[in-house]
Amino acid sequence: MILIGDKLIPFDDLVNISSLEEIKNTKANSIISFRYNENLLTYSSKNELDFAVVIKSIKEAIYANCLNARYIICQKDLSKDVQKIADNYMFDSKVLAIIESCDEIEEIAQNEIDGIIYKEIIK
């Protein structure tokens, strides 16, 4: 299980961005993170960047995977449906459920979601 933002587990930093300009100002080898945006998604994919996408629907999850997102981030209630589709279609992207507290990790694990990310990490 992937745990991003947990104080006990080291994790790669995510750099939250909202525009193409911000991508140009990130350090090399950073994982960029953004809310689903077709321009950012296609640019990141074409330039083979390491990126995470915050999605709100299954359709957005499918596009994010097809365009090589490392992580697909979604609300806890959507994560179970996205994970089922990811498993069925053997997504390369990992599904992360957004949580607020470590008390939620067990529930996410029982739902067999790839991992979690703390809400404060994605702002």
Domains of the chain (ranges plus CATH)? 2-17+29-122 (3.20.20.70)
d(CA 67, CA 32): 14
Tracing tokens 């640019």 back to the chain, one arrives at: 43
Model's pTM, two decimal places? 0.96
Q: At what angle do helices 38-46 and 58-66 cross, to 10 degrees?
A: 20
pLDDT digits (tens, 9 = 90+) for 56-112: 999 999 999 999 999 999 999 999 999 999 999 999 999 999 999 999 999 999 999
